[in-house]
Amino acid sequence: MRKKILFSTVSWFLAITAIAFAGGNNVTPYGDYCKDCGTYGTCSNIMSPEKATVAIKKYYREKGYRVGNLRHKGRFIEADIYKNKRQVDKVLFDRKTGRIRSIN
């Protein structure tokens, strides 16, 4: 009986720990917005790809990260986010709204 309780407790703890740390590497797991765009999630005009690239790099540089592998897809930009040499997130930047969200 004690072994069943111990096993159940350990299994439960491991499951909760795995859930808690799943996706824990994402830098912006719930999204954010670019302060260069304007107020929360609203740009007066769609940002140019060049201005958006500068804004993304500035946003993550201020947080201590590096942006690499930018891919322009219409009004969106996909970017890989690195801490030192390790990729920690992949984000999607919306040039129309200024929203940033993790897609990793």
Query: Is residue 34 one of the residues assigned to a domain?
Result: yes
Query: Is residue 58 one of the residues assigned to a domain?
Result: yes
Pairwise CA distance, residues 55 & 69, whole Å: 15
Pairwise CA distance, residues 60 & 36, whole Å: 13
The model's pLDDT over 30-39, given as tens digits with 9 standing for 90+, comes to 778 777 776 6
Pairwise CA distance, residues 39 & 33, whole Å: 8
The model's pLDDT over 52-95, given as tens digits with 9 standing for 90+, comes to 999 999 999 999 999 999 999 999 999 999 999 999 999 999 99
Query: Is residue 11 one of the residues assigned to a domain?
Result: no
Structural domain that includes position 35: 27-102
Q: What's the whole-model pTM score?
A: 0.68
Query: Is residue 18 one of the residues assigned to a domain?
Result: no
